[in-house]
Amino acid sequence: MILFGSKSIFAANVAQELTPRYARMTKVKETSTRQHNKAKRKITCPLTYAVNKIAGHWKLIIIKELRGGPLRYYELRKSMPDISEKVLIQQLKQLQTDEIVIRRAVEVIPPEVSYELSDSGKELTEVLDVMAAWGRRESKRQNDKEHTMG
C-alpha cells in the first residue's frame, strides 16, 4: 500500500479498527430477545411452523413434481431445469429433515436414488391445492383489475 501523508495512515488505521467490529456485528446474537421470540413463535404458532416447512421457492415446486409418485434424482432434476444442482440437493435434504420427502437409495452401481412424498407430504398437497386455487383466483382478479384500469 502506498501512503500519501498522514491522512492515508489515518484511513488505514480506521479501516483496520472498524473491520473487526463490523464483522462481529454481522453475526446473529443467539441470546437476543428477538431470537428468543422468533424461536418461541416457531413452536407456538402453527401457521409459522407450517410456512417454515415449505418456505422457499423450490420446495413447493419439488412437492408438486413428486405428487405424481416417486422420481429418480435425474428425473426430478430434468423436470426442473432452472434449479441448480446445489440448490436442489439442499432443498431435498431440508424436505427430508422435515419428513415431507422420503429418499430411497438402492446400493447398486451406479446408485439408484429416488424421492417420494411421505404421508405428511401427501397430506400437505391438499393444502397446496387450496393455495393454488386461491392463487389462480387472485391472479385473475388482479389481471381483470389491471385491464379495467388501463
* Section 26-40 average pLDDT: 65
pLDDT 10s digits, 48-59: 888 888 988 899
Cell match 387472485: residue? 138
Distances 3 to 10, 14, 48, 90 between C-alpha atoms, Å: 10, 14, 54, 46
Instruction: Please name the residue that has the C-alpha cell 400437505.
Output: 124
8 A C-beta contact, residue 69 and residue 104: no
Give pLDDT, residue 84: 95
Per-residue pLDDT tens digits for 70-84: 999 999 999 999 999
> In angstroms, how far is the first alpha carbon of the chain from the final one?
59
Q: Is the pTM of this model over 0.75?
A: no
